[in-house]
Chains A and B, each alone.
Chain A
Amino acid sequence: MTLFKTCKPNRLVGVMNKPVLATVIAAAVVLLASAVLAAPLMDIPEKEFDFGFVPQNSEVSHVFWIFNRGDDTLIIEKVVPG
């Protein structure tokens, strides 16, 4: 007695008509491409700051803002003094 019947190889194609199958494949390609092409994008609106006159033997500081305008996580690996 046979417990399992084997499916016909073309059954899936038979269930899904061709336009639907094409749409599914296209969506998969788009999703895959977006995952592969996703990239971070660092944006620093103010890239330059002039302190003007500063006294000797003192410490001054300025805060720059960094934004991630991309579509993947931005990782700041290191900042090297110039």
Chain B
Amino acid sequence: MEKTDLAVGDSTSLEIIFSTRHYNTRISKRPRITTNEGPPDKNVSIHATVIQRPDSAYPIIVKPYKLDISQFGERVRDRMRFTISNVSDKEVSLALVADLPRYAKIELPRKIGAGQSASGEISLLEEVLKQSFEKSFTIEIDGDAKTRFTVPVKRTVKEPTAGRAGAQGKTSGSE
């Protein structure tokens, strides 16, 4: 949460993180929010259908089903392409219902024909290139809230040159 005290007319965002672990079913969670309004507390709800085999989902399959845009070297890694396959027998339309406005720009094909595949791309914003994070975006099929797919996005940043630079610093310091 960005802030806990909201002046009159002010707003804040509350990020709910859900770890799917080894669940293999429909899961609902209702985090409880306590404020100085007094009782009763208020809730937000999240729902997810955790699947063991995303490669056999229907009507679309996203590959890879988790996007790992980690960077372990000096070479900047700021984008990744992914494939969406329509495994149904009719054309599907795709829409982003939850994206990553502060982290990345996501491009999706608007429609994919029956049995066809198309590419999408995620491009990280410059201001988050040095950050490690785990987020996600959600695709809705044919405007149906019951047919959604959430794609986890992970980025880990490790700079291998830090150790070498430290060693060099010691050397130069002893001279």
Binding site for B on A (CB under 8 A): 39-42, 44, 47-82
Contact = CB atoms under 8 A, between A and B. Distances in A.
Contacts of A62: 15-16, 18, 46, 98, 136, 138
A51 to B, nearest CB: 4
Given A44-B44, A59-B134, 8 more contacts: A50-B46, A51-B47, A53-B148, A59-B20, A60-B18, A64-B15, A75-B4, A76-B33
Nearest to B45: A48
B37 A79 contact: no
A69 B10 CA distance: 8
The bracket for how many chain B residues form the interface is 35 or more
Nearest to A72: B8
Interface stretch (B23-31, B110-118, B160-168): B23-31
Interface in B90-149: 98, 134-136, 138, 140, 145-149
B24 A56 contact: yes
A22 to B, nearest CB: 31
B contacts with A: majority SS: strand
Contact of B52 (A51, A56, A64): A56
A68 B9 contact: yes
B97 to A, nearest CB: 9
Contact of B8 (A47, A50, A73, A82): A73
Nearest to A81: B31
B35 A52 contact: no
A57 B22 contact: yes
Given A68-B7, A75-B4, A55 B35 contact: no
